Structures are given as structure tokens and as C-alpha cells.
Amino acid sequence: MAIAGTITRVWRKVRHWPWWYIGAGLVSGLIVVFLIVPGVLLYGQALAIKSDIRLIDRANHARNFRAMKADLPRIEQKINALQATLGWMGYWDWVPGIGAKYRDGQEALAAIQLGLRGVNVMMPALTRAAPLLGYRVRAQGRLPALGKQKVAEFLKALPVMGPDLRRAYPDFKAAAQTLNKVHPRDFSGFLAPVGQKLATAQSLVDAAMKNMPLIYQSTSALQNILGDPTRRRYLLIFQNSGELRSTGGFMTAYGYLTLNHGHLGNITAQNMYLLDAQVPYHPPASAVIATYLPVYYWHLRDSNTSPDVPTTVSYIKQFYASIPGAPRINGVIFIDTWVVDQLIGDVGGITVPTPKRSVSLTEQDANIKMEDMAEGEGLPNNIRKKFIETMMKTLFQDVLHSRGHVLGKVLQTVDQGLNRKFILLYFKNPRDEAMVVRYNWGGVMDRHVQGDYLSVVDENLLGHKDNFEMSYHIRTRVTNIGGRYEETTSISYRDPALDNGWLFVPYRSWVRFYVPVGSKLISIQGVDGIPYEDYVNTTLNKTVFGGHVNLPSRTSKSQPVATHTVTVRYWLPPGISVRRLTIQLQPGVNHQTLTVADGSYHRTVPFLHDMSFRLP
């Protein structure tokens, strides 16, 4: 009765309140019950997880694997609880300003759960590998490895981790796919740091996932390449992509990179002309080089004439082997200008000291400033050499010490460089080279293609640095004529650069079309000078058509952009399947599009990597 009386008295008071007052109270109550209270609960759970992550981080710094392993189940339980809390708060999905973050939070937690499942699958391997990496696995274990010892121990751990990493890969892959569903841009204002961390996590995870199969499929090759068990020395060749050549650019500088049990030694960089001056081997130059460079002898700096990297390396070796006392090398690494530019941007720019002044380089102006020092200011060779050496050392120092989101950008740049042929690898060891070929990181032309084939290769010959501005469009069309297949392929040049007499000049090049062996030339248009090429390259198993290209001069912005097109028509060999077309990208080309046409089929795409087409 007392309770009933109390309710009656309350109702008598409430019924006289304005309706809006009652409504506001109800809304406030709903906000407290369905938003504030759950928010506080989520915040508390998140703080608890963050606290446990700090414990794991401290255990990691202390190299205490035993403590890290013990903390993981507790974090997993709390993440599961947080996921359950989010589950019964599904109505948040419909709240303006919160719904997108709510969905992102669910995806992020799901990704973490999948990642932890993968870690659990890998736990036996991690436990075995931890001592090799210098972690304590018992209450009183070995001390952590440092420096060179740490890297060497990691190499020993690779075979131990490989099999379990293969089994855990599906979980890690699913975690990466789920994490990529998160939209970091949804987090703004005071939550912007959360969005930045999510973006960094996405880039790091993507880079890790792309290379994870490499670790468990190619453990032995990776150990060899990283100098375990024996030291490795690689010849570095820096290619200036502003002056395009078959493997990516004019070989402007060289250096050496040494790896000993995974430890990176000193990186050197010097002007290529200094190495060329030591070469006593001087065979006659080809007709194309002799006519258009023009030089009578073939030089090391011009030896990258084949787009097939192993073939070009065989040419380089002939020159290099003739140098008295030349250091023995285990491979060659080609690095294009585009990668150097992107790495400079990744680390936020670099400052290079010179005898006159310090030079600041950014991704946008590095090429122009370096070319101005080399050509515009007419600096002596010794100063130019020292600048290149100091610049590369400064850049690699910043790259190798990158962390967080900078490391993520660096890894993405390296990954992009390998897949877009801005970085090319060649290893003397057949097993190491086989790994490179499997991942298409070696610039190897496909000698035995099932179906049609095309590769268009342009070589800048006294066109100076116009390829910094040049863009290309390749177009190919197959036509059935009376039961025979005729292919028409063209390359169109677009050069907006203004002729200034030293950096940009009227463009000159020699272009080659690599097509299926047995193809017969019908016509070639848009070439001039010495007779065009029409021969079979038996090494690459390709028929080759080629000729000289000459673009008009452009000295004023009021003049139209310089353009030109070279077109070849040829019969494909009898019996070839035209339903499948393989097109390989020339290394070092940064601005190129591709059109493939066959009857009603028509497709235009950015040409960024080797491509295969299934035609109707």
C-alpha cells in the first residue's frame, strides 16, 4: 500500500508537467542508458586492454617472451568481452556521427581476433624461435641478442618459423582483409590520432602480408641473399629514369652493398664514369649506339641494352670482369630514380652537405636540383661524385632508421618498386635467382609464352632528361583477315617539356617492339634515320622490330605539346592462340597507359606492371 501510495503521489505531480519537460527527461534518460553508460563501459574495457598491451610492450623491451606469452590470453579474453559488448550495442550503428566509428571498431576488433588466432597457431614456432632471437623463455633465460648477433639469430630462426607461418597465413590474411575494411578517415578531430594509427597499421600489415609467403616459401634463398652462412656483396646500379634505357635508365652511378649474416655493411655510391674509366674491355659499339650517341666503342655505362635483366647483366659482367682487382660480386641490384624520389618523400626530405652549401632535397625537386648541379652548374666530377655518395648514404641512413608510419611508407615504396620494376634484382646463385623470377622481381622477359606476346621498349639516345616529363600510350589490336591474324601496335609519345638546351631537348630515341618469334613485318611508320630493325633475338625467343624516333622541338608554352606515334603492322605466326595476350612492362617507365582491342573487345588501363589479357 505504501508503494502504491508513493506511485500515486508521483503521478499526480508528473501529470501536471509540460509534455516537453517529460519528453526531455525521457530523452535524457535514454541517452544515459543507451549511450553514456555503454560508452563508459567501452572506455573502461579499452583502458584495460591498453594497460595489458603496455605490459606486453614492456615484456618485449625486456626480451621476456615468457611474460608476453602469459599476457596474450588475458588480452584475448578482454577483446572478446569488448566485442560482445559492441554486439549488444548494435543500435549504435544507426546513431549519426557514431555509426561509422562503431562499424570501424567492430572490424578492427575482428581483425585483431583473427590475428591473435594466427599468433596462437604460430605459438609453437615462436616459442622455439624466441631463444634464437634473444628472448627469455624461462624465468632465468639467455640474455637478449644485440646488433649483428640479433640479425644473425633471426636468420637462424627463419627455418624454424616457416612451417607454422604457412599454417597461420590464412588467419593473418583474413585479419588483413578485415582490417582494410576500416576507414581511418572516419576518425577526425580529437580522434584523428586513432585514424592515423589505423592507417599506419593497414600499410604495415599489407606490406607484411605481401611478403609473408616469401618467408615461408623461400627461407633458404632469403638466408643466402642476406649473407648467411657466407658474406654477400652486390653491385648497386643507380639508373637515371629521366634518361630512359632498356632496364630503366642511364646507369649514372654505382656502389656496393654487403650483407654478412643479415648485417648491412657500408653502402658506397660513386659516379659510373669512374668505374667505366677502369674498364680495358672496349668492343665496337652497335650500329644504333654508334650512330645516335655517337661513340665508336661500347662502354659499360651503355651496356644495359637488353630489357631482359639477366641478358643485360651478362653484358655488364664482360666489362666488369676486365677491371683489374674488381671486387667479386654475388649479384646486381638496379635502382631507378623514381624509387629514390619516393624514398626521399617517405622520410620527409633530406639535407645533403656540400663544400659550398647544404642542399635540401624533396620528392618533388630532387631530380631537378641534382641535374642542375651536374649539368647546369657544371661541377667537377669529384664534387659530383661526392654529392651522389653523400646523398645516397644520407638517404639510406634515414630509410634504415625509419619507424612507425614512416616505416610503413618505406615498405610500400619498396614493394611498389619491386612490382613496378623500379627495383630489379639479379643473383648469381641459381636458387636465389629462381625466387626472384617466381615473384617477377628480376626483369626477366618471358621466353616461352602460351599465346600472343608484346613488349615495347624505348631507349633515350641524346634526348637528355625528357623522360622526367614524357608519357606514353601503347595500343595494340588483333584483326582476323582471311584466317590469318594481323596485329597493329603503336606507341604514342607526349612530351610537354620545354627545350632549354641542357635538361630538356627535342627527344631522340630508338624504340623496339618485341613480338612472338616468327612474326612477319608488314609495315613500320613513324621512324627515320638508319634502316629499321627486323630480326630474331634467339636469346629471348622473340622477333624484334625497331627504329629511330625524332620528336619536334618545343621552346614555348604557346606551342603545342610535342607528340609522335610509331606504328608497326605484322602477321602473327600461324597456329598462335590470340585469345591470350601477355604484355610486359619496360622497367623505369612511370607514366604509361595501355589499350588492348580485339573485335568488339576494347580496354584501356594504366600500364603499371606486366599484364595478361583473356580475349573473347
- What is the per-residue DSSP string for 267-319? ---EEHHHHHTT----PBPPHHHHHHS--SB--GGG----SSHHHHHHHHHHH
Q: Which three cell numbers stand for residue 548?
A: 629511330
Question: What is the average pLDDT value for the chain, to the nearest integer?
Answer: 84
The confidence score (pLDDT) of residue 301 equals 96
- Predicted confidence (pLDDT) per residue in 283-308, tens digit: 999 999 999 998 999 999 999 999 99
User: ∠ at Cα 500 (494, 504), nearest 5°?
Assistant: 40
Alpha-carbon span 245 to 587, nearest angstrom: 8
Helix (H) or strand (E) holding 43: helix 37-61
CA–CA separation, 158 and 218 (whole Å): 10
Amino acid in the structure at residue 187 = F
Question: Can you tell me the mean pLDDT for 432-439?
Answer: 91
Give me the DSSP letters along 96-155: TTTHHHHHHHHHHHHHHHHHHHHHHHHHHHHHHHGGGGT-B-STT-PPPP-HHHHHHHHH
Query: How far apart are the C-alpha atoms of 391 and 134, rounded to whole Å?
Result: 35
What are the two backbone dihedrals, phi and then psi, of residue 358, each rounded to the nearest 5 degrees?
Answer: -90, 140
By C-alpha distance, which of 567, 566, 577 is closest to 613?
577
List CB contacts of 462: < 8 A, sequence separation 6 or more.
Answer: 292, 293, 505, 508
> Higher-confidence residue: 99 or 335?
335
Q: State which fold the 447-614 domain adopts.
A: Immunoglobulin-like (2.60.40)
Rounded to whole angstroms, the Cα distance separating 171 from 191 reads 29
Length of the chain: 616
CA dihedral 441, 445, 450, 452 (to 10 degrees): 120
Q: Considering only residues 511 and 119, tell me which one the structure prediction assigns the higher pLDDT.
A: 511
What's residue 146's pLDDT? 41
Which pLDDT tens digit goes with each residue over 163-201?
Answer: 888 888 888 888 888 888 888 888 777 667 777 777 777
Calculate mean pLDDT across residues 436-464: 94
* pLDDT above 50 (res 147): no
| Element containing residue 508 per DSSP (H, E) | strand 508-516
Give the model's pLDDT for residue 553: 93
- Of residues 354 and 71, more confidence is placed in 71
Full 3-state SS string of 445-507? CCCCCCCEEEEEEEEECCCECHHHCCEEEEEEEEEEECCEEEEEEEEEEEECCCCCCCCECCC
Closest listed residue to residue 504, CA positions, set 137, 242, 195: 242
- Express each pLDDT in 367-395 by its tens digit: 888 777 766 555 565 566 567 777 887 88
Distance CA 349, CA 338 (A): 14
| Tens of pLDDT, residues 333-376 | 999 999 999 999 999 999 888 777 788 889 988 888 877 776 65
pLDDT for the residue 169: 85
Half-sphere exposure (Cβ direction) of 227: Cα atoms closer than 13 Å: 18
The per-residue pLDDT for range 485-502, each reduced to its tens digit, is: 999 999 999 999 999 988
Report domain extents, the chain: 22-217, 225-437, 447-614
Is the predicted pLDDT of residue 141 greater than 60, yes or no? Answer: no
Query: Which CATH code fits 225-437?
Result: 3.40.630
- List Cβ<8 Å contacts ≥24 apart for 96-102: 100/183, 100/186, 101/186, 101/187, 101/191
Q: What is the pLDDT of residues 14-68, one digit of tens each?
A: 555 555 444 555 555 555 545 566 667 767 777 777 787 788 778 777 778 888 8
For the chain, what percent of residues have pLDDT higher than 70? 85
Confidence of residue 116 (pLDDT cuts 50, 70, 90): confident
